[in-house]
């Protein structure tokens, strides 16, 4: 009879999952071995948080849950960041950790944490794998991750339970409390007529595309906004759904660079259409203050829905819209905002030994093909890339924005490259974030996932330093000593380079991409330059 671990592994393999990411402890060795037997690779990483981030991106790019596997106690505790990230960034992630066996004496508290209680509020589903329920519970957890809004599930499996013979029965899994699942839906045809009538009366409509859209609808969305020549803005998590080099693209909303300008554009619109817009991405309160015509096909993070809003199927709605002619002509009502946005990047300053951020964007975007997947970490550089990286294709831009957690960019790049081995991957990270997980460069080399990392070096947590200045506080403790980026890269077996010359940056990146090699480039930047862009 197969063991509980074997049934668990089989359920994962049967779901088409070929890799799980993690960091071991003795308590999960049997499950790792069963996964190996079932043909599921274990991607050994150097921190559980990094493994969880990589898994979530890997899963979302493959249209299935990512799976992260950790030991009990400290390993499980390190799951807080990726589970939070999966929750707030709508990413399907199944975390499995060990736990102290239920049959241990009550006095046994070594490495015992209230894991289920801790992670329940974040997860769509939490349960304990037992010999009676293994297959069923794993299938249920994977399904729950893919229920929209996508999010995490968490299971525990004790080392003792793992080696028991599975009872083989399909014990019915208790209905999980479904958090705020919206049930009311609208007829897409009627919704299309209502929206068309609103647009007919609008002179400055602006379509806001957010995290709640499915990338499978990208072509429909593109056709709609292109055929009707509708002004469109996106949130960072929806970058690439429309071609950001097209004439009707107004910009990236939700707290990136030039956010003052974007907020002015929002206020200047007389009809904001929120297509899959989730306020989880918005660091200000305009989503509650400006009237928005919401078009959501699933509840937002946390099961939240704006008052009175019913769900509508996006594909059918968009099909109904593109079947009609545009009800009006909107001759570039946001042109002034678009021009100002574009000019910001070119309004450069010269400072010796550093690269103007606009030059970096131009150099990198000229060096890599449009299908390149870009990941960013969190900090000033995220605001820069979030607003100005010219995304052209869906699913090519990844950042932590709902959670906005540092140490995302490099781990996300590992997951992205494993999911899309034929596509170049570029991680843009700050020197602060880089020092949190640079060691995963070795992982990337070991598992055959080469990508380019650009480290924006300013010797500080610059976003926070700027905030300190903005609040007129004394300059205090925001700078750190320099860690040599090139040596860090080389220590992980990756070629490193340091340059402030945009041409040198572009040609080095181009060569690395062509040769499918990893490269780390340290680029000195002047944090004061960001002031002009934010
Ligand atoms: C895990 C985590 N810790 C702290 C923060 C707060 N925080 C946001 S941006 C930032 C600075 C990041 O510095 P760096 O990686 O060097 O990027 P830069 O701002 O310099 O571009 C900090 C500390 C965070 N978002 N996530």
CB 444 within 8 A of CB 450: yes
89 ligand 1 Cβ < 6 A: no
- Edge to edge, the sheet with strand 292-295 lists 249-252, 232-234, 205-209, 271-275, 292-295
pLDDT of residue 178: 46
433 ligand 1 Cβ < 6 A: yes
Q: What pLDDT digit, counting tens, does each position of 234-277 carry?
A: 999 999 999 999 999 999 999 999 999 999 999 999 999 999 99
Phi and psi torsions of 215, nearest 5°: -65, -20
DSSP conformation class of 38: T
pLDDT of residue 172: 54
Probe target for ligand 1 pocket from 461, 467, 482, 529, with the most ligand atoms within 8 Å of CB? 461
Q: Output the six-digit token pair for 402.
A: 């709902």
Q: How far apart are the C-alpha atoms of 235 and 210, rounded to whole Å? A: 5
pLDDT of residue 177: 45
80 ligand 1 Cβ < 6 A: no
Question: Taking the mean position of all CA atoms in its chain, how far away is CA 483?
Answer: 27
Residue 487, preceding peptide bond in cis (omega within 30° of 0)? no
330 ligand 1 Cβ < 6 A: no
Probe target for ligand 1 pocket from 463, 478, 479, with the most ligand atoms within 8 Å of CB? 463
Q: Output the six-digit token pair for 129.
A: 């794998």
Nearest to 72 by CA among 125, 108, 124: 108
pLDDT under 50: residue ranges of the chain: 176-180
Q: Which atom of ligand 1 is nearest to the CA of 405?
A: 26
Nearest to 420 by CA among 496, 521, 512, 516: 516
Q: What is the residue with the minimal CA distance to atom 11 of ligand 1?
A: 461
399 ligand 1 Cβ < 6 A: no
Q: Across 404-500, where does the E strand assignment appear?
A: 425-430, 452-457, 495-498
Q: How far apart are the C-alpha atoms of 457 and 449, rounded to whole Å? A: 24
3-class SS shares of the chain: helix, strand, coil, % to 5: 45, 15, 40
357 ligand 1 Cβ < 6 A: no
Q: What pLDDT digit, counting tens, does each position of 104-159 carry?
A: 999 999 999 999 999 999 999 999 999 999 999 999 999 999 999 999 999 999 99
Q: How far apart are the C-alpha atoms of 28 and 228, rounded to whole Å? A: 55
Query: How close is the Cα of 465 to the center of ligand 1, in Å?
Result: 10
pLDDT of residue 284: 96
Q: Output the six-digit token pair for 427.
A: 């991680």
Q: What is the residue with the minimal CA distance to atom 16 of ligand 1?
A: 432
pLDDT of residue 115: 97
Query: How close is the Cα of 464 to the center of ligand 1, in Å?
Result: 7
pLDDT of residue 360: 98
Probe target for ligand 1 pocket from 47, 85, 378, with the most ligand atoms within 8 Å of CB? 378
Q: How far apart are the C-alpha atoms of 223 and 322, rounded to whole Å? A: 7
Q: What is the residue with the minimal CA distance to atom 9 of ligand 1?
A: 379
Q: How far apart are the C-alpha atoms of 137 and 155, rounded to whole Å? A: 8
432 ligand 1 Cβ < 6 A: yes
């Amino acid at each position: 009879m197969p063991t509980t671990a074997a049934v668990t592994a089989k359920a994962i393999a049967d779901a088409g999952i070929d890799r799980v990411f993690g960091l071991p402890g003795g308590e999960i060795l049997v499950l790792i071995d069963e996964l190996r037997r079932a043909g599921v690779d274990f991607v050994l990483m150097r921190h559980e948080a990094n493994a969880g981030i990589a898994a979530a991106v890997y899963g979302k790019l493959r249209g299935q849950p990512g799976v992260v596997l950790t030991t009990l106690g400290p390993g499980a505790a390190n799951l807080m960041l990726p589970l939070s990230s999966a929750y707030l960034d709508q990413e399907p992630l199944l975390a499995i950790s060990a736990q102290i066996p239920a049959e241990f004496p009550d006095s046994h508290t070594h490495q015992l944490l209230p894991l289920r209680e801790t992670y329940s509020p974040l997860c769509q589903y939490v349960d304990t794998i037992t010999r009676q329920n293994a297959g069923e519970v794993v299938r249920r957890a994977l399904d729950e991750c893919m229920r929209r809004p996508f999010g995490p599930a968490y299971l525990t499996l004790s080392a003792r339970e793992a080696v028991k013979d599975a009872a083989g029965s399909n014990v019915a899994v208790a209905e999980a409390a479904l958090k705020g699942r919206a049930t009311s839906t609208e007829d897409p045809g009627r919704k299309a007529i209502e929206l068309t009538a609103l647009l007919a009366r609008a002179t400055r409509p602006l379509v806001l595309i957010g995290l709640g859209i499915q990338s499978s609808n990208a072509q429909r969305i593109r056709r709609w906004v292109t055929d009707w020549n509708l002004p469109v803005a996106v949130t960072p998590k929806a970058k690439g759904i429309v071609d950001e080099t097209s004439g009707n693209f107004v910009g990236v909303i939700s707290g990136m660079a030039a956010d003052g300008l974007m907020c002015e554009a929002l206020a200047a619109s007389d009809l904001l259409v929120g297509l899959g817009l989730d306020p989880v991405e918005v660091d200000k309160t305009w989503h509650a203050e400006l009237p928005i015509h919401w078009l959501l096909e699933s509840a937002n993070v946390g099961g939240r829905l704006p008052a009175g809003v019913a769900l509508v199927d996006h594909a059918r709605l968009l099909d109904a819209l593109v079947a009609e002619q545009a009800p009006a002509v909107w001759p570039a009502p946001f042109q002034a905002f678009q021009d100002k946005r574009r000019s910001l990047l070119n309004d450069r300053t010269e400072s010796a030994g550093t690269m103007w951020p606009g030059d970096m964007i131009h150099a990198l975007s000229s060096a890599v093909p449009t299908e390149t997947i870009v990941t960013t970490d969190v900090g000033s550089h995220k605001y820069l890339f979030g607003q100005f990286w010219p995304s052209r294709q869906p699913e090519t831009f990844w950042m932590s924005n709902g959670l906005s957690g540092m140490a995302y960019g490099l781990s996300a790049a590992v997951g992205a490259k494993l999911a899309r081995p034929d596509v170049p991957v570029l991680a843009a990270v700050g020197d602060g974030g880089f020092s949190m997980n640079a060691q995963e460069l070795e992982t990337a080399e070991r598992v055959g996932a080469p990508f380019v990392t650009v480290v924006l070096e300013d010797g500080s947590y610059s976003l926070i330093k700027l905030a300190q200045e903005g609040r007129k506080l004394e300059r205090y403790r925001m700078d750190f000593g320099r860690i040599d980026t090139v040596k860090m890269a080389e220590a992980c077996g990756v070629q490193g380079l340091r340059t402030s010359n945009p041409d040198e940056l572009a040609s080095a990146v181009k060569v690395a991409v062509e040769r499918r090699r990893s490269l780390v480039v340290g680029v000195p930047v002047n944090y004061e330059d960001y002031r002009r862009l934010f």
